[in-house]
Each structure stands twice: as structure tokens, then as C-alpha cells.
Amino acid sequence: MERLSVSCFLLLLLSIFFAFADAGSIGVNYGRIANNLPSATKVVELLKSQGIDRVKVFDADPSVLKSLSGSGIKVTVDLPNELLIAAGKRPSFAATWVEKNVAAYYPETQIEAIAVGNEVFVDPHNTTKFLVPAMKNIHQALVKSNLHSSIKVSSPIALSALQASYPSSAGSFRPELIETVFRPMFDFLRQTGSYLMVNAYPFFAFESNSDVISLDYALFRENPGVVDAGNGLRYFSLFDAQIDAVFAAMSALKYDDIRMVVTETGWPSKGDENEIGASLENAAAYNGNLVRRILIGGGTPLKPKADLTVYLFALFNENKKNGPTSERNYGLFYPDEKKVYDIPLTMEGLKNYHDRRSPVSGNKPVAKAPINGGGGVSKSTSGNTWCVANGESGKEKLQSALDFACGEGGADCRPIQQGSTCYNPNTLEAHASFAFNSYYQKQSRAGGSCYFGGAAYVVTQPPKYGECEFPTGY
């Protein structure tokens, strides 16, 4: 009887939410690093059939934008990282790019935002200083085309932009980025009425720290919660803790009036043996429960009225992505348009949604150790993890990522200099592994800080390159 009454009560609540809630919104990232995807026209029909009314793309491909024309789907386009320098240095370049890739399609294609770059601070090509100038030049180009009131300009940041994220209330940005990037960026966002774009992946945090992070906590399932000692708020999901760490970092700089959009989040349905938690069941649970969490409405513990727009990553499994197996298995759909797993994507679909937990799946209790909203945990209580180079990513990508880690990334690369303790073996992979791990540990093993564009991945056993010892903390 108790279960029946609770179920009836929940159904009543859902019906009320369906009718009255000013809830959040769900979109999807449409990546195309694959050679077996359906045509853009078929993709638009798939989006419409699933009730998806927001999509984010990673470029401004004409075939995609033309196919979205007249669909009623709101679109976020991307100015790729490799164009940041040109867009930041030359207003004329930005004006031409907007005219060709935005104004030419609007309003038939409902472009609502431009993402200038993507996770620029971890881009190995050292383009950070061009980010805000590029954003301003793109906005000025929109002003000239009289599109600035309809189309917002922002840039997605990774959680590795945080210096501290545990507890969430202590969230802060990396000091070297505050005056050079974040203050001018936030001033720009405030002046233009735009929002901060954030990419958040609880999977990375769970994968690296599964010994202390509860799977239920990571998957939005019922759990006792974790209390933030800084503000007394209780968190029931790692996602909320990550988002509030960013909100707290913004508030610390007096920019708590700026909105946030989560431009990427997701969970892989398959992974390598060491990618703990990557499974079909977990992916379905994370994304299904996230959709319910967002569409029913309500913000985070720190920002209860901040209904979020969230873009799931990704629409398809992409078979040409580099890196571990998980990178090719974030899709909601296979390339033949069949669902990888069945979850709701709309309010209507939620009415019959149930998180189908396997009867044999185990789970640890919610961690008593502090959980870092950005992906790391208290050093004194966490299991050790390291970051190493992905030798299959290619010499060019490894070298670029190594240059970033030892340069702008601030990794301690002294031990891999000639004559030092970790110079031998003198190979690109060994040197890159040491540098990547130094950066990863300095970032407190934050989610996304061991990625480098697919050139690195997390391991749970100490790396072995000659006699060199890899540190586990700084």
C-alpha cells in the first residue's frame, strides 16, 4: 500500500509539473567524427521524430545548416579552435565568418548561439589569449548584421578550468585565468545578456575515483546525499555538485547574475577494461535520470531557481574518434538510427519512464570521503590514479599536447629534461605521459584534465617508464 500511495503521489506531482513547471530544456550534440552516419536530412528527421528541439554542432557545415532550415529546431553553431587566432586578430575575418556561416542561414535556420571555440584552455595550440577578442569580434559582426539581439555568443569551458571544486561552495577558477580570461569574458557575457557554456562529465570523476564515489550518486539514483561542509547544503548528485562548483567560482568573482548552459554532458555505453562504470545500463541510467531531473525543473542546491538547458553528448556513436573505447560510445543512437538504449527525451516520454536497474548490479555506499565536484577527491582518502599518453593518438597530437602541458598548462616538466631523473627513456610517449600526469595531479585529478583532445587517458596502476616514478599529488 505504501508503494502504491507513493507512486500515485509521484504521478500527481509529475502531472502538476507537466502542466505548470517552467522547467529546463534538453538538447543534443550532433558530432560527426565518423564515416558511417546518415545524411544531414535524415538526421533532422530523426531529431524531429524524437521531439528534440535543440541541437549543437561543432562547426557551421552548410549541409547541416541547410537541412535544419525550417525545422523549428534551435541551433548552436561553433567557430572551431583553429579559427580563434584569425577571429581574435582580425575583425574582418570575424565579420566574413558570421556573414557566411550565420547570417546566410538565419532566420530560416534558427541559430540561437555561437560557441566560440571549445574547451580552449586545454587546447594544445595556446589560443587562450585570443578567446575573448574573438568573442567580441564575432559579437560586433552580429551587431553589424543586426542579429545581436537574437544570437548569443559564448564559449564552452571544461571543469579543468577550476582550481578548486571541493566542496562545491569553495569552487574557484584557476588563478592564471581569472584576470586574463574570466573577468573580461564575464564582463562581455553580462553586457551582451549571454550565458556561460560549461561541459560537465560526472563519468570522468566516477571513473577515476570509483572507490569513494557512489555509483548511485553519479547516476541520479536514490542515495543519502553528501553534505557540503562550506554551506550545509546536501547534494544528491555529482552533476549538481559539479555545476554548483562553477556557480560558486562565478559568485566569488561577483558574477553570480550570469546564467549557465551545460553544453556537454553524457555517459559512455562501452569502454575499455580500465574505464570503470562505462556500460549500457549506466549510460541509460545517467542520461534518462538527467533528462527527468532537467525537464521536471528546479535548479541546483546553490541555485534552486536556475532551470538549466543541458545538451546531451552525443547524438551518435562516432567511429573515427581517437582515444579509449568510451570516446566512440557516447551516442544515444547507432549510425543506423537505432537507439543504443531507450530513454525519454521529452516531457511526454517521462510519463512512462523507469530507471531499469539490473538486479545484479552492486553499489558502494555514498562516499564518506569528500567528493570533489570537478572530478577529484580528497588526496588522503582517494584511490591513486595517473594520467598517461595514448600512444595511438599520433606523434603530432602528442607533441602538441606535451607542449601545452609543459607551457601554458603549468606541468612540472623539469624531470624530463636531458640529464634529469625521468629523461630516460627518451621517447615522446614517455615524456608526454610524465607531463600529462603532472598536469592531471596539479588539477587534483579533475574531470576532463586527463584528456588532451584524446591524447591521454586515466590508469589505476602506477605507470612504468624506466626508473621514473610518477607523482600522485602536489
Annotation says 112 is catalytic: no
- H-helix or E-strand containing 47? helix 40-49
State how far the Cα of 241 lies from the Cα of 169, in Å rounded to an integer.
9
Count of all residues that appear for the chain in the document: 474
Does 119 participate in catalysis according to the annotation?
yes
**3-state SS assignment for residue 65:** helix
Nearby residues of 269 by Cβ (< 8 Å), 6 or more positions away: 278, 279, 280, 283, 284, 317, 329, 330, 331, 340, 341
3-state helix, strand, coil in the chain (%, to 5): 40, 15, 45
Cα 474 from Cα 454, distance rounded (Å): 24
Residue 112 and residue 151: Cα distance in Å, rounded? Answer: 5
Strand segments, DSSP code E, in 160-275 are 162-164, 172-173, 195-199, 226-227, 234-235, 259-265
Active-site residue, selected from the candidate residues 119, 327, 408, 429:
119
Q: Which of 264, 275, 318, 408 is catalytic?
A: 264
Judge whether 125 and 81 are in contact, CB under 8 Å: yes
87, 117 Cβ separation under 8 angstroms: no
Contacts of 382 (CB under 8 A, 6+ apart): 209, 211, 212, 369, 376, 445
User: Radius of gyration (Cα) for the chain, nearest Å?
Assistant: 22
**β-bridge partners, 77:** 114
Q: Are 417 and 467 in contact (CB under 8 A)?
A: no
Cell numbers found for residue 331: 551516442
Virtual torsion, Cα 318, 321, 324, 327, nearest 10 deg: -40
Return the active site residues: 119, 264
